Structure 1
Amino acid sequence: MSRSPYPPGANFKPAEDYRRLRRIIAEDSDWSLAIVPCLSTLCLQSIMRNFEESPIFEVLTPIQKDFVHDGLSTSLPLNVTANLISDGVFWKRCCEQRWDLCNVSHYNHSWKRMFFERHMENTIELFIPDVTETKTVLEMIPLCKNYVKRLDISQLLPPVKEPQKEEEEYGLDLAGENEYDRPSMDHFDFNILLKRLTKLEELHLAYRVKQCGMNFEWKMFEMTDRDCESLAKALKSCRTLKLLRLYESHIEDKKCRLLVKHLLDHPSLRELDFSHNLIGDKGARAVAKLLTRSKLETLNMSDNGVSDMGAKAIAHALSKNSTLLSLNLRLNRLKDEGGQALGKALLNNNTLLHLHLGGNEVTGQTAIALAKVIAQNNTLKSVNLSCNILGVDGGKALEEAMSYNTSVTECDIRLTEVDEQSVSFINQVVWTNQSEEEKRLANESKTKKT
């Protein structure tokens, strides 16, 4: 008979005592069965480590894709991730790692769109003619063309200025040599890009250098003739463009006319912004022609050199136009001849909602002409005549007209030398119209919901 290994009188079963005495001593003191990843996780981690060589994504389940989004390296080449990784956490991580400010609401809440638009913008803004290879842009187009809808280019760099040769310093430079030494482009050539961006709807563009330092030259802040020719052709080829904003680029009449020539009969252009340039009457006449051969809804020509002749041309086009909703001629050189022409044109126009003539040289005569419009036209929503010398008579005319108006919800007559009593009455009518407009919109909203 075998002898029991347990002491006499023990009150526990042999099997339980065996489990209590058993011990596992691991080499890793932090090891625990709870932290051992499951096989599927190990497989996904292997996919992420080898993603560049063997990109596997579409066959994964939604939960597995989310896991990959969270852990995939943001340094992977774009030719691997661009057309494979869908919008989501991965592109959010890419954006937040690269830029401090990331407001995705400006990109229709698409992180992928934000990344590719800002990536393209940075590439163009740092492009140096004859130094940066154009293939860096061309190779990117197939990767981002489905996601880029807006480009906001706030800087365009000129070619690198070569140091003067010894012969030039002594006045021995030959005229023919300058032609051969001329760079192939003065700034980035948009002709190689815009026709390939098939989803582009907005282009904001300024020919300037943001941080020129002690190397300042005026030519850093202007579009050259060659730039204008290439951009004009590029704009014509971009059939999806809805908004063009070309500002602070030293555009004068010649360049404006060339740009407009290529925008005539554009199928999708709805908003044109040529503000803060040097456009005069000849350029304004070209823009007036565009109003008759396009479907523009917004035209901004503020801070240019348009005077009465240009304003009269725009007014003539406006009298026949049925699409323009907003016209901004702030900070130009309009006098009463141009202002009265615009007022007369609006008597035959039932489309324009917003008119801005602030900061010109119009007087009470223009105010009287516009007063007739305000009294008869119930389409116009806002009129801005600020910083003009309208005087007491102009104010009285506007006051009387506003007493018949129910549509104007903004009438800016600050700094116009209008009598305070007229200003008070006009503001009261504007406030009443605003209240009625809010009620109307609220009722329409309730009707739609029901």
Structure 2
Amino acid sequence: MKLQESINVNTYLTYKPPYNIEPDRKIVSESFDWDSNHPKTLAVICIQKLSENWRGYPKLEHFTAKDKDLFLQILDTQVPLQILVDNIKNDIFWKRCYKSRWTDSPLITNEKRITRSDMNCKRVKYILRGLSDSQNLETLDFSHCKISDEGAASIAKFILRHENLRSLILADNVFGPSGIESIAHALNHVTCSIRNLDLRLNTRLGSEGIAHIAVTIARGCNLTS
């Protein structure tokens, strides 16, 4: 999808102002506002309007590279998190989202659910950082995502710092024995209060990963289901 960048020359001549904004030169380098009166291109106006009400469509892959960069620079970080996770892979945007969405105003919630998305390890790290001050969090649901061993290790560290967390739902992800080992160690820690652990459809755990959980249960963790 290529957005219009120019207008018909006859349309331009019709609306051309009768005076010249800069009679002697086009650029006044010593003034930071030299172009403040210049009209925005049609492409910029279109991108601004799209960003104001964006809910996942048009898809980012339909933009040209230049238009996509501008779109991600101005897109509101308060767009529903599920939509952002499902559509945006740009790490620069996620850093901006983390700083503007969570740094200044910690979330007050007792559960966080992001499911059926392509959320990977980098994105889960940003989200967990944003939730770091949510000490009343009781349920964390990252089911049907793409969290691998590194992301599972981040989750393990997170649950150690949140004593009120009772339910951890990680069904259908892509971590293996190494990732579940990190979580298993956390489950046996004295500060861990997890009661419900959902690991359904994690086909990469294998017998080694299942053994890690079995040992954790045998050692007397707090799991009840």
Aligned equivalent of 1:131: 49
1:229 aligns with 2:128: no
RMSD of aligned Cα (Å) = 3.6
**CA apart distance, 1:255:** 1.4
Report if aligned partners of 1:239, 1:266 keep a CA contact under 8 Å in 2: yes
Aligned equivalent of 1:292: 160
TM-score by length of 1: 0.34
Structure 1 or 2, whichever has the larger Rg, is 1
1:281 aligns with 2:161: no
Cα distance in 2 between the residues matched to 1:289 and 1:130: 39
Cα distance in 1 between the residues matched to 2:96 and 2:133: 19
- Relative distance call for 1:133 and 1:291 in structure 2 (3 A) is closer
Match of 1:156 among 39, 55, 58: 55
Cα distance in 1 between the residues matched to 2:145 and 2:59: 25
Percent identity, aligned pairs only, is: 26
Aligned equivalent of 2:219: 348
Give 3-state SS (helix, strand or coil) of 1:156's partner: coil
Give 3-state SS (helix, strand or coil) of 2:215's partner: helix
Report if aligned partners of 1:221, 1:250 keep a CA contact under 8 Å in 2: yes
**CA apart distance, 1:239:** 3.3
**CA apart distance, 1:260:** 2.0
Aligned equivalent of 2:78: 190
Report if aligned partners of 1:280, 1:306 keep a CA contact under 8 Å in 2: yes
Give 3-state SS (helix, strand or coil) of 1:327's partner: strand
Larger RCO (alpha carbons 8 Å, 6+ apart)? 2
Match of 1:331 among 201, 212, 215: 201
Cα distance in 1 between the residues matched to 2:177 and 2:62: 47
Cα distance in 1 between the residues matched to 2:209 and 2:67: 45
Report if aligned partners of 2:195, 2:224 keep a CA contact under 8 Å in 1: yes
* Deviations 1:390-412, CA, capped at 9 Å, x for gaps: xxxxxxxxxxxxxxxxxxxxxxx
**CA apart distance, 1:352:** 1.6
- Relative distance call for 1:253 and 1:300 in structure 2 (3 A) is same
1:308 aligns with 2:177: yes
5+ residue gaps in structure 1? 1-127, 137-154, 169-174, 192-203, 209-219, 355-450
Aligned equivalent of 2:34: none
Cα distance in 2 between the residues matched to 1:281 and 1:317: 14
Report if aligned partners of 2:51, 2:71 keep a CA contact under 8 Å in 1: no
Report if aligned partners of 1:297, 1:324 keep a CA contact under 8 Å in 2: yes
* Deviations 1:194-238, CA, capped at 9 Å, x for gaps: xxxxxxxxxx85228xxxxxxxxxxx9433234533443424523
**CA apart distance, 1:240:** 1.2
Aligned equivalent of 2:26: none
Amino acid at match of 1:269: L
**CA apart distance, 1:181:** 6.1
TM-score by length of 2: 0.63
Cα distance in 2 between the residues matched to 1:346 and 1:315: 9
Give 3-state SS (helix, strand or coil) of 1:279's partner: coil
5+ residue gaps in structure 2? 1-45
Aligned equivalent of 1:439: none
Cα distance in 2 between the residues matched to 1:262 and 1:132: 27
Aligned length: 174
**CA apart distance, 1:190:** 1.7
